Amino acid sequence: MFKLVGATGGYGKTTIIRDVSLEVRHGEVVALLGRNGVGKSTLMRFASGSIPAMAGHVEIDGKVAPTAPEKRARLGLGYVPQGRFVFPRMTVAENIAVAAAATGHDHKAAVAAALADFPMLKPKLDDLAGGLSGGQQQVLALARALATQPRILLLDEPTEGVQPSIIDEMAGILKRINTERGIAILVAEQDLDFCLSIAGRAYVMEKGRIRMEVDRDTLRADTALQQDLLGV
């Protein structure tokens, strides 16, 4: 249902990712692995439409997706960027409500639904998002993306700077939304254990390209491969 075809992009005149093609099928959880600086975040920004394509395109449901990120969001593409980027001078409730409203959903219902998914946000609802801890901001960024009612969720380094107890909780939530709502997930990560706990297969990136595609069991068994590709 979601495809990158020949994705080539970067910043200014610098090309970071070259001719990357990958696919996330309906209801699937796929990991994007690789060391620091191989282009995972650039690939995610390409997919969300935040950087212009130098070549290649994105397909949603077999059709070429429009280039504007806001149109992709309305087609069901949810994006949680690395570093969260919550709206700092808006309250937690407003962060969720604005995402729902912008994609044409009822914003009060969205806040209520988010609280059901993430009860830990409840006492913080009227606090400014900029004052939350890193882990809380990560949860909020996820809740905000879910408020757009996506069918495919792009998660960029969701465990970065988040305490282990929240990482476990997050893995549980992601598994649940994947199975209960059929939301497909593409997650870029360095935390191999986190990926192995939620993703069925993975693409491994190196120097801006996809080096290989592996399924969970192969990757879990092959420690030499883990060492070679990820340095773990």
Partner 1 sequence: MEADFLATVLLSSLSSASILLIATIGLAVVFGLMGVINLAHGEFLMIGAYTALTATQAGVPYLLSIPIAVAVTMAIGALVEVLIISRLYGRIFDTMLATWGISIAFYQLAVLTFGTVSPGIGMPQISVQIGDYSLALYPLLMNVVALLMLGFVYLLMTRSVYGMKARASIQVPEMARAIGISSSRVNTLTFALGCGLAGFAGAVLLPIVPATPSMGFAFVIKAFLTVVVAGPVTLTGSALAAIGLGGGASVTASFLTSVAGDAFFFIVTALLLWRFPLGISARWRRKL
Residue number, 147 or 204, with CB nearest to partner 1: 147
CA distance 215 to 200: 6
The one among 148, 159, 187, 214 contacting partner 1 by CB under 8 A:
148
User: Residues near 194 by Cβ (< 8 Å), separated by ≥ 6?
Assistant: 158, 159, 167, 171
**Per rule CB under 8 A, count of chain residues that contact partner 1:** 33
Specify the stretch interacting with partner 1 by CB under 8 A; choose among 5-13, 68-76, 158-166, 218-226.
68-76
Nearer to partner 1, 50 or 197 (CB): 50
Residue 156 DSSP code: E
Could you say whether residue 50 binds partner 1 (CB under 8 A)?
Answer: yes
User: Residue 109 interacts with partner 1 (CB under 8 A)?
Assistant: no
Q: Given candidates 98, 125, 192, 225, which one binds partner 1 under the rule CB under 8 A?
A: 98
For residues 128-152, b (16+ Cβ closer than 10 Å) or e, as one string? bbeebeebbbbbbbbbbbbbbbbbb
Min dist. Cβ of residue 222 to partner 1 (A): 35
C-alpha 62, offset from chain centre = 20
Q: Which range of residues in 19-27, 52-60, 63-71, 169-177 is near partner 1 by CB under 8 A? A: 63-71
Q: Closer to partner 1 at the Cβ: 126 or 180?
A: 126
Q: Is the CB of residue 26 less than 8 Å from the CB of residue 182?
A: yes
- Residue 150 or 204: the one with the smaller Cβ distance to partner 1 is 150
Select from 80-88, 162-170, 187-195, 211-219 the region that touches partner 1 (CB under 8 A).
80-88
Distances (CA, A) of 45 to 93, 111, 213: 25, 26, 21
Q: Which is nearer to partner 1, 89 or 224 (CB)?
A: 89
**157 sits near partner 1 (criterion: CB under 8 A):** no
Between CA 41 and CA 108 the distance in angstroms is 32
CB of 120 to partner 1, least distance (A): 21
Q: What is residue 228's three-state secondary structure?
A: helix
Beta carbon nearer to partner 1, 109 or 221? 109
Question: Of 145, 163, 144, nearest to 154 (Cα)?
Answer: 145
Annotate 53-88 with DSSP letters as a single string: -SEEEEEETTEEPPSSHHHHHHTTEEEE-TT----T
Q: Does 99 bind partner 1 (CB under 8 A)?
A: yes
Cα separation, 105 vs 145, whole angstroms: 13
Where along the sequence are the contacts to partner 1 (CB under 8 A)? 48-50, 68-70, 73-74, 79, 81, 85-91, 94, 97-99, 101-104, 107, 128, 130-131, 144-145, 147-148
